[in-house]
Chain A
């Protein structure tokens, strides 16, 4: 069974830092793109970042570039999100998600086209 379990959320002050972790099991972690998606209170889904299987490519939404860093440790089946210079608008539930391999005419593209498995989420609150 595919499982993704986030941890590391909590209360942080504006300008502070947190490190989120996502422990995965039930699939070969090193063969999947992974990502983080967040959802502010009463709001919709916002993609935050993606990382390629070997960590060689990373992509971020503009609002977190230079402040958040996505990383992974394939030996520990774990995904991470380092959150620095936190702002009130970063308050959200942060979900870890597995990227589904995208294929075109039966050929894998090397990217992911959707998130097919999600964790339960970890809550980050930024407030003084």
Chain B
């Protein structure tokens, strides 16, 4: 199975900050890498797919990059509604696996 490891597990930031979250895969995933945002009590929301493609309706302050086994999600200027937990997910092979999550908190 492919293990997905996110870092950091939590991060404190302020509105307007630039935030970067990293996801590392234990094996190559052919760029089948997605990012989700989840708020408490809500279903996850797809933000980014195939490393860097922005899902329709997602603000352009969200961006994804990376290749091979290392990937990043960047929020260029944090907004109040961005405080949430973020997950990466690989679909390069079954079983599909998620990272453990990164909690983005208000400093």
Residues of A within 8 A of B (CB): 35, 37, 44-47, 50, 59-62, 95, 100, 102, 111-116, 118-121
Contact = CB atoms under 8 A, between A and B. Distances in A.
Nearest to A63: B95
B36 interface: yes
Given A44-B100, A102-B32, A119 B43 contact: yes
User: Which of A46, A47, A50, A114 has the most C-beta atoms of chain B within 10 angstroms of its own C-beta?
Assistant: A114
Given A100-B49, A114-B89, A45 B36 contact: yes
Contact of B91 (A37, A45, A114, A119): A114
Contacts of B1: 62
A115 B99 CA distance: 15
Interface in B7-58: 32, 34, 36, 38, 43-46, 49-50, 55
B46 A114 contact: yes
List of 9 A-B pairs having minimum Cβ-Cβ separation, nearest first? A114-B34, A118-B43, A47-B96, A114-B49, A45-B98, A59-B94, A44-B101, A113-B91, A61-B95
The A contact surface, by secondary structure, is strand
B98 A111 contact: no
Interface of B: 1, 32, 34, 36, 38, 43-46, 49-50, 55, 87, 89, 91, 94-101
Contacts of B49: 100, 113-114, 116
A101 to B, nearest CB: 10
A50 B96 contact: yes
Contacts of A50: 94, 96
Contacts of A60: 95
A113 B32 contact: yes
Given A44-B100, A45-B36, A45-B101, A116 B95 contact: no
